[in-house]
Chain A
């Protein structure tokens, strides 16, 4: 066989391990070449760009929903004498950003295919591939959200900035806020995908996605300010919200956009996003490796 040399080379590079971890799945080497993850990203991205009708329906829904929310807030604001913690134009912008980047910030936006992989055992294939499963799945989820947002955000953003006065979305106060917004939005997306990975990892243990999905979405979306914008929450609740990573995914970038956060606050926030990202990815990877060690591929 022509494989003799390959054979001995792979044998030679095999690290010697202590006998006590002999029976472990080990895959601890960090991903060295991001190209393979990029490739997974690309195929997921192109394949979800095909779903045009779903995107169109999404745009219509989000547009309608945005209107309803803004009407409610206008009613609130006009009947209150208190000094609001966030101005109405800022809030309107907040709502429109929420609606257009829904794919970036919603925890319920899920990839059923990954769940199916686990519960039906198709994961067997993914486990036979070089590279790390965490990376592959992260790339897939990221691609799905980015393609989803790409198809949905532009129509909403454009339309919302041409609406009449109380409904109109404003531009960021200056160029730098815009740049900071884009950075924080993308970092927020990375944090969100890292959070959502935990939902998928939990399925290894529970075999059904619905429990953890429900928990994550209800708790997560509230803490991200998707139900009530964080600035409108009472002080003590805001303090609780800031203890969790969720608000960094949605609330933070939107308030950076509208200038509700000062530049220093924005810079500090971006650093914190990075810290959260590192913490979440490291824990996620470790948990996943542990889950894989005890994984039983279902069926067949």
Chain B
């Protein structure tokens, strides 16, 4: 459905040192530096997927989205989306996509939300019946009921974002590009937005490409992540694969009945390869286990044979840390 092959894009950025002298010099001759925003990016996305597109600030996420929307023309490479090349067949292509830029607004500031919706209906020439149906559905799932007659300037950010999402979907697109859809939202609104994205993906089969810095978005939504940094594609894979590749460490928290003394407890804690005691007192020990070197059951078995275990909890490494370690690995 979406296929990018060897896409590269560079920008020319004017550079000068600070200070009056160099500002004056820049009047006559400017120095430009070329920034390679995207360098040989290739990937394929199947219909119905939700893909998390991540990377640190300035990695080239938005640039990729803009190319896929047909706003930017790459220097080289090919991009086929639903049989179109976005920047060439713009007029026919954009009908099939919905776009949401979390940091921008597409609604008219001074008029009720409804007016903006109706304008979008005319711009996309959505047939009345289809429009009514999708508006109804969106109103229901996004809880827009009280909002549609309110001028946009009087909405809260969370309310506005819900309306923005609805606006991006009024014309029933097959692909939805979301550029930081949860930016600045509170936990509740984030939850609502995520819930909604999952729903339209499942019920309408919309393919979703999502950029975000919020790893909870990724965890809640994306089956697959594509990570870029400094314009290069670094990781492309299933979230679970990534987790198993980079998140082989588990944290085990063990509560036990206090033995006679602390020293006995320490002595009783078995020595196992790949296991690290993070903290320990009379009633609780926290262990970090590298599951590639030691089996979890082995650790648990060893511990329970020495100590009277009351409660055990095992947690994987949070995705946030996995991504962070990925960034570090690639020196971003």
A residues whose Cβ falls under 8 Å from a Cβ of B: 1-3, 6-8, 10-11, 13-14, 17, 22-27, 29, 33, 35-36, 38-40, 42-43, 46-47, 50, 120-122, 124-125, 127-131, 293, 295-297, 299-300
A39 and B123 in contact, given A46-B111, A47-B108 (Cβ under 8 angstroms) = yes
B108 touches A43 (CB 8 A): yes
Set of chain A residues within 8 Å of B47, measured between Cβ atoms: 1, 3
Flag whether B18 is at the interface (Cβ < 8 A): no
Instruction: Tell me, rounded to whole Å, the shortest Cβ–Cβ distance linking A139 to chain B.
Output: 11
Contact between chains at B104 and A11 (CB < 8 Å): no
Other-chain residue from B66, B94, B121 in contact with A130 (beta carbon distance below 8 A): B94
7 more contacts with CB within 8 A, not counting A23-B76, A300-B104, are A1-B174, A1-B205, A26-B88, A124-B99, A124-B104, A130-B91, A296-B72
Decide: A3 and B119 in contact? CB cutoff 8 A. Answer: no
B62 CB, min distance to chain A CBs, angstroms: 5
A39 near B101 with CB under 8 A, answer no
Contact A128 B94 (CB under 8 A): yes
A299–B104 Cα distance when bound, in Å, is 10
CB-based contact B110/A47 at 8 Å: yes
Binary A-proximity of B176-208 (CB < 8 A = 1, otherwise 0): 000100000000000000000000000001000
Q: Which residues of A are found within 8 Å of B74, using beta-carbon distances?
A: 23
Partner of A40, one of B48, B71, B83, B123: B123
- B94 contacts A129, CB within 8 Å? yes
Q: Is the CB of B96 within 8 A of A6?
A: yes
Measured between C-beta atoms, what is the minimum distance from A228 to chain B in Å? 37
Interface membership of B52, Cβ < 8 A: no
> B179 touching A127 by the CB < 8 A rule?
no
Residues of A within 8 A of B71 (CB): 124, 127-128, 295, 297
Residues of B within 8 A of A (CB-CB), count: 49
Q: Which residues of B contact A (CB under 8 A)?
A: 11, 47-48, 62, 66, 69-76, 82-85, 87-97, 99, 101, 103-106, 108, 110-111, 115-116, 118-119, 121-125, 174, 179, 205
State the Cβ distance, B117 to closest chain A Cβ, in Å: 10
> Once the chains are docked, how many angstroms separate the CA of A242 from the CA of B172?
51
Contact of A35 among B97, B115, B125 (CB under 8 A): B125
Complex contact B87–A24 (CB within 8 A): yes
Bound complex: CA A19 to CA B205 (Å) = 34
CA distance A299 to B75 in the complex (A): 19
Distance, CA A125 to CA B95, complexed state (A):
13
A129 contact set on B, CB distance < 8 A: 94, 123-124
Assess the B179–A300 pair: CB atoms within 8 A: yes
In the complex the two chains form, what is the Cα distance from A130 to B11 in whole Å? 26
| Highest count of chain A CB atoms <10 Å: which of B72, B111, B122 | B122
A17→B88 CA distance, assembly (Å): 9
Return the chain B residue nearest A41 by Cβ. B119
Chain B residues with Cβ below 8 Å from A296 are 11, 72
User: What A residues does B75 contact at CB under 8 A?
Assistant: 23
CA distance A29 to B93 in the complex (A): 13
Tell whether, in the assembled complex, residue A25 and residue B111 are in contact, meaning their CB atoms are under 8 Å apart: no
Chain A contacts for B121, CB-based, 8 A: 39
Q: How far is the CA of A122 from the CA of B105 in the complex (A)?
A: 7
The contact sample of 28 A-B pairs, CB cut-off 8 A, is A1-B205, A3-B174, A10-B96, A14-B83, A14-B84, A24-B73, A25-B88, A25-B90, A27-B91, A33-B125, A36-B124, A38-B122, A39-B123, A40-B123, A43-B118, A46-B111, A122-B105, A124-B66, A124-B99, A125-B105, A128-B70, A128-B99, A130-B91, A130-B94, A130-B125, A300-B101, A300-B103, A300-B104
* A127 neighbours in B (Cβ, 8 Å): 69-71
Contact of B97 with A128 in the complex, beta carbons under 8 Å: yes
Question: Which residues of chain A are near B66, meaning CB under 8 Å?
Answer: 124, 297
Contact A36 B179 (CB under 8 A): no
Give the distance in Å from the alpha carbon of A170 to the alpha carbon of B66 in the complex: 57
In the bound complex, what is the Cα–Cα distance between A8 and B99 (angstroms)?
A: 22
CA distance A24 to B123 in the complex (A): 23
By a CB distance below 8 angstroms, the chain B residues around A17 are: 88
Contact of A11 among B73, B82, B118, B205 (CB under 8 A): B82
What 9 pairs between A and B have smallest CB-CB spacing?
A: A11-B83, A39-B122, A125-B106, A36-B123, A3-B174, A127-B71, A1-B205, A47-B111, A43-B119
- Say yes or no: A130 contacts B95, CB within 8 Å: yes
Q: What chain A residues lie within 8 Å of B97 (beta carbons)?
A: 128
Chain B residues with Cβ below 8 Å from A3 are: 47, 82, 96, 174, 205
**Alpha-carbon distance A111/B269, docked complex (angstroms):** 74
Flag if A122 contacts B91 (CB, 8 Å): no
Which B residue sits closest to A35, measured CB to CB?
B122
Looking at B89, B108, B123, the one whose CB has the most chain A CB atoms below 10 A away is B123
The answer to whether B119 touches A27, judged by C-beta atoms less than 8 angstroms apart, is no
CB distance from B201 to the nearest CB of A (A): 11
A23, B104: Cβ atoms closer than 8 Å:
no
Which one of B84, B87, B104, B118 contacts A10 once the chains associate, using CB atoms below 8 Å? B84
CA distance A300 to B104 in the complex (A): 9
Contact A10 B70 (CB under 8 A): no
Contacts of B92 in A (CB 8 A): 10, 13-14, 130
Q: Which residue of B lies closest to A25 (CB)?
A: B87
Please give, as numbers and ranges, the residues of chain A lying within 8 Å of B118 by CB-CB distance: 39, 43
Evaluate contact between A24 and B115: CB separation under 8 angstroms. no
Say whether A36 contacts B87, CB under 8 Å.
no
The reply to whether A14 and B89 contact each other, CB–CB distance below 8 Å, is yes
Question: Does A24 contact B88, Cβ atoms closer than 8 Å?
Answer: yes
